[in-house]
Amino acid sequence: MDNSAVVVNDLRVQRGGRDVLKDISFEIERGTVTGLLGPSGCGKTTLMRSLVGVQIVESGDVTVLGRPAGHKDLRSRIGYSTQNPAIYPDITVTEALTYFASVLRAPADDVARVINEVDLTSHADAIIGQLSGGQLSRANLAVALLGNPELLILDEPTVGLDPVLRDELWELFAGLAARGVTLLVSSHVMDEATRCEHLLLLREGELLAANSPAELRAHTGEADLERAFLRLIKDTVS
Amino acid sequence: MTVLNPTITLATTRRILTQLRHDHRTLALMIIMPSVLLALLRYVFNDEQQFSRAAPALLAVFPFAIMFIVTSITTLRERTTATLERLMTMPLAKLDLLFGYAIAFGLVAVVQVVVAMVTSLTWLGLDITGSVWLLGGIAVLDALLGTALGLFASAFARTEFQAVQFMPAFVMPQVLLCGLFAPRDEMATVLDWISDVMPLSYAVDALTQVTHSTEIDGTLVKNLLIVAACALAALVLGAATLRRRTP
């Protein structure tokens, strides 16, 4: 079996007449946590949408779990959570998750499991529209964890969360990876990069680097990942 | 290719009904509004005979219009809140979503029509010759037609503001030309042709016939089949407008 969960070759995406992703290529190893980092507007969300198969792409190949992205066999094997919560605001956390669980044909006890995993048990019967921003993004993340996805694509899942909770979520991601799940997690906060085994650094639609944090530090000679990123940008420009 | 999965369709229906259950005000408005409007009409006429002539057609028109607007707004909300995109990444067939909506609002329509009919027949003095059950069945079918057209129309709206504007655009011409204000065969030829391609016209014809006679003939069956076929076509066209991949 191929050891790559994701293989992207020369992916180009246009939106509104301009290139959002400019012929990027990379692979993601199975059972790892990969961080997708870059400033807001650099193409992170577009890249993630391309992997899930909801983005119209201009050219290039995207292979996910051995199949072309968007293949219908992949629909129950990928967990995707969008940056803006995509969850019904007018029903309770349990009711919304129960619905998504039945669409995914996930076992009934999965709902309680994922609510526990994102630490929302005390708000299981709260109306989603009345949750705080952090609780809402956790409810949104919980949907992606339903069933047994082999690949999790999480767009900014830790935005606005308190440090303790953020730490718990990264522990959860590491635990999932240890079980063989592949995760791609986007963030614009550099300190989260240290929690990833691999990094994809994206800037203005171009992939600046695809390394591990250690390789990135060694390559740039900077101990701090934020400074390493800056160094890369300077090197690319000059 | 999976066209439909009954478990997922019914789960969708249950989810939509749960959303409505949490929204008491919308639910109350949907259920009592046609009855309130019929009562209003009854006292505008101030005459039971005149009311009995107009009411059956309105039993079709009110649920049709209300269901159209409620459905188009609800599905548009599904599109704009990105829950639609999330569902499109999951093993849900497009028709699961549309039939899920149709069944959910169909059930609400049954309650709505039952309340409107009981009000009309007991309190407002509506007098009909044909079967009450058939009248009710046709009214529910019309509400379903409104739901299906609402689902279809929502595909062309980008904002809720636009969706509300579709109500006069899609619904009012059908109401004006369906034979409620002037008999269809007495209208100018062009208007008659236009009314011939509007599904609501057939619904009103069927209701008028049931009001005046107990006979179930070929014309009635043909009219009902046309209404049902239009509702089904709108649902299938609505499914065709859903895209898994977007720019």
Q: Note the pLDDT tens digit of each residue in B84-102.
A: 999 999 999 999 999 999 9
Q: Note the pLDDT tens digit of each residue in A108-147.
A: 899 999 999 999 999 999 999 999 988 998 999 999 999 9
Size of interface A-B (CB pairs under 8 A): 79
Tokens of A63: 């292979």
Distance set, CA A34 to CA A176, A219, B112, B144, B241 (Å)? 13, 18, 53, 48, 35
Q: How far apart are CA A98 and CA B12, in angstroms?
A: 11
Q: Note the pLDDT tens digit of each residue in B220-233.
A: 899 999 999 999 99
Cβ pair A86:B85 closer than 8 A: yes
CB-CB contact of B97 with B242 (8 Å): yes
Residue A45: phi and psi, rounded to 5, are -65, -40
Q: What is the pLDDT of residue B2?
A: 67
| Res. A76: pLDDT tops 80 | yes
**What b/e sequence results for A186-218 when a residue is b if at least 16 CB atoms lie within 10 Å of its CB, and e otherwise?**
bbeebebbebbbbbbbbbebbbbbbbebeebbe
Tokens of B185: 């065969």
pTM, to two decimals: 0.90
Model confidence at B246, pLDDT cuts 50, 70, 90, reads confident
Give me the interface pTM, i.e. the ipTM: 0.89
β-pairing verdict for A59-64 and A198-203: unpaired
A87-A89-A91-A92 Cα dihedral, nearest 10 degrees: 70
Query: Nearest CB to A87: which of B7, B83, B245?
Result: B83
Cβ pair B245:A95 closer than 8 A: no
| Res. B113: pLDDT tops 80 | yes
| Res. A180: pLDDT tops 90 | yes
Q: How far is B70 from chain A (nearest CA, A)?
A: 15
User: Looking at per-residue confidence, does A16 or A149 come out higher?
Assistant: A149
Q: Note the pLDDT tens digit of each residue in A163-178.
A: 888 888 899 999 999 9
Chain A contact set for B89 (CB, 8 A) = 52-54, 75, 78, 80
Q: How far is A216 from chain B (nearest CA, A)?
A: 33
Q: What is the pLDDT of residue B54?
A: 84
Cβ pair A91:B22 closer than 8 A: yes
Q: Note the pLDDT tens digit of each residue in B186-198.
A: 888 888 888 888 8
Closest residue of A to B79, CA-based? A86
Q: How far is B9 from chain A (nearest CA, A)?
A: 9
Q: What is the pLDDT of residue A48?
A: 95
CB-CB contact of B15 with B90 (8 Å): no
Chain A contact set for B88 (CB, 8 A) = 54
Chain A contact set for B85 (CB, 8 A) = 54, 82, 86
Q: Note the pLDDT tens digit of each residue in B66-88.
A: 889 888 988 888 888 889 999 99
| Res. A238: pLDDT tops 70 | no
| Res. B1: pLDDT tops 70 | no
Query: Nearest CB to B18: which of A55, A56, A91?
Result: A91
Q: How far is A61 from chain B (nearest CA, A)?
A: 15
